[in-house]
Amino acid sequence: MSGDGPPKPPAGSLHDSRNAQPVPMPGQPMDSTRDPFLPPTRPLGPGSKAVASIVYRDLPLVTIGTDWDVESVRGALRNNMTGLFDAPAQLVDAILGDDRVQATFGSLMSALLGCETIFEPANDSSAAREVVDAWVPCWPGIGGYGSLGWLATYAKAMGWAPAQIVWDTTGPVWAPSLRPWHQRYTYYHWTMRAFIALSQDGQVAIEPGNGKWVLHAPWGDYRPWVFGCLRAVATPWLIRHFAYRDWARFSEVHGIPIKKASCPASAGAPERSQFEQALTQLSSETTILLQKGMEGQGSDYNLDLLEATDAAWESFPGLIDRCDMSIVLAVLFQNLTTEVQAGSLAATTAHAEILHKAVERENMTVQATIRPQVARPFAYLNFGDADLAPKTRYDIQSVEAHKAVATLASELGRFLQALRASGGKIHDLRGFLKRGGVPDPGEIEDVDPVTVEAKLAGATGEISEATNASATPTKPDKGGQL
């Protein structure tokens, strides 16, 4: 292969990166538009369609790291802190293959992405509603497990995760879809304060919000890897695998007892050889023929099993459980699945509330990424106004929250009923409900109490007759009919 790199795509093709700004190497002059010390600006502009139409070709993941030991894990964590993500991203791939890690991440992502999606217009205008109507059919390419789920999972592990937006321009509306970019082929450019993607078309700066790139970084775009759970999970994950390996070796040694054989000292070489051969062929056989010496003519042939009887194996499940708890705590902020025992209702409720808060936080970070980096370019490229970008969120209300709303509604109903009976009435019921049932003294108007109205109505004889009819039971006739 020549040292000139991959062939350049033809001008005007989907892979033509001539519209993208070059990445300056260390020591080269900084482009003023990329100066990280300038005030932030909105990247959408007249050339956004040209930038958005580019499709960068990522490098194939043909080599992977599977054999991890203490030194390689420490090296990956060191690289991660310096902004080199080749080894850390491979370590994340390996960690995600663990059953405990998959269950923990899966419960968090399912609790979020499994909820109903709510779409809201930017404002009450007809133009904003038109943007929402066009946005909803595009959501499956954005909010699926293979796009947004991938981003949220790797952002949780690494503290950040990139994706390029690939636009389908064949229809009347440019439809976006997220194509995740593996962090292995990225690094952090400290001078530019930006993440750089390594592609077949060269180095490309990841510019979130320009219509081409998405950077899901819940903790911000400056050193977000510090907050990724990789550093907290890597050590217990490695210890957990070592514990499983040692436990398997322990079981292998102690599950196959040592055979302790003895033969008479007077036995000849042929007899000894025959006895040893019979022992080696014993394997899973349960019977072996042993010779017994004549009385007074020496010892017998003998075979005993030397079995381990210690309880050292109990340390392995204890160590594994401790590592499991460390992994769950780092991802879900609670240890509901490993610590809370059955019957502890208060602890279960408290841990479920913490889990709900973790899901709620994920929902907020997804909103903070999707609207400015995907929805705004969508509104700008299709309708010419980025401020018409729709709002997208998940309905993550827990069962307890719905119960609380039902209880509040019941209490408000009792309050309104008691207020009406005592001679008061809320004339602005809508405002009263918007404030959560907090009455404003100016909203309460005096009316006749219900008891007075009943007496007034009773003067006409209507209420009294109904009251008498309900107070005096009607006796059935002889046939059992009323």
Which of 12, 7, 92, 22 is closest to 57 using CA atoms?
A: 7
Whether 116 and 216 map to the same domain: the answer is yes
When computed from its CA atoms, the radius of gyration of the chain, rounded to whole angstroms, is 36
> Residue 176: inside a domain, yes or no?
yes
What integer pLDDT is reported at residue 459 of this predicted model?
52
> Residue 15: inside a domain, yes or no?
no
pTM score, whole prediction: 0.71
Whether 184 and 297 map to the same domain: the answer is no
Show the domain range for 429: 399-471
Q: Say whether 296 sits in a helix, a strand or coil.
A: coil
Which of 215, 78, 100, 67 is closest to 155 using CA atoms?
A: 215
d(CA 340, CA 245): 28
Q: Who's near 206: CB < 8 A, 6+ residues apart? A: 162, 181, 186, 194, 195, 196, 197, 213, 215
d(CA 353, CA 400): 9
Return left, alpha or beta for 370; rule: phi > 0 is left, psi -120 to 50 is alpha, else beta: alpha
CA of residue 445 relative to chain centroid, distance: 51
Residue at 242: amino acid letter: F
Q: Are 187 and 87 in contact (CB under 8 A)?
A: no
Which of 139, 131, 109 is closest to 332 using CA atoms?
A: 109
d(CA 1, CA 3): 7
Whether 382 and 426 map to the same domain: the answer is no
What integer pLDDT is reported at residue 480 of this predicted model?
45
Which of 381, 317, 345 is closest to 169 using CA atoms?
A: 381
- Burial class of 156 by CB neighbour count within 10 A (0 to 12, 13 to 18, 19+): buried
Residue 350 phi, psi (nearest 5) = -65, -45
End residue of a domain, out of 377, 394, 411 = 394
Whether 70 and 142 map to the same domain: the answer is yes
User: Which residue stretches of the chain have pLDDT < 50?
Assistant: 1-7, 9-13, 18, 296, 337-338, 340-343, 345, 347, 454-455, 461-476, 478-482
Whether 152 and 278 map to the same domain: the answer is no
> Residue 454: inside a domain, yes or no?
yes
What are the tens digits of pLDDT across the range 76-134?
Answer: 999 999 999 999 999 999 999 999 999 999 988 988 998 999 999 999 999 999 999 99
d(CA 138, CA 33): 31
How many domains does the chain contain in total? 3
Whether 130 and 271 map to the same domain: the answer is no
Which of 323, 336, 153, 133 is closest to 241 using CA atoms?
A: 323
Q: Other C-beta atoms within 10 Å of 15: how many? A: 15
End residue of a domain, out of 290, 306, 322 = 306
Whether 290 and 431 map to the same domain: the answer is no
> Residue 326: inside a domain, yes or no?
no
d(CA 175, CA 167): 5
> Residue 203: inside a domain, yes or no?
yes
End residue of a domain, out of 291, 306, 321 = 306
Whether 366 and 457 map to the same domain: the answer is no
> Residue 129: inside a domain, yes or no?
yes
Residue 357 phi, psi (nearest 5) = -65, -35
The DSSP result for 418-462, as a single string, is HHHHTTEEES-HHHHHHTTS---GGGEEE---HHHHHHHHHTTTH
Whether 181 and 50 map to the same domain: the answer is yes
Whether 75 and 184 map to the same domain: the answer is yes
> Residue 331: inside a domain, yes or no?
no
d(CA 79, CA 277): 56
> Residue 318: inside a domain, yes or no?
no
Whether 425 and 446 map to the same domain: the answer is yes
End-to-end CA distance of the chain: 103
Would you report the helix, strand and coil content of the chain in percent, each value rounded to 5?
50, 10, 40
d(CA 144, CA 154): 14
What integer pLDDT is reported at residue 299 of this predicted model?
62
Whether 210 and 148 map to the same domain: the answer is yes
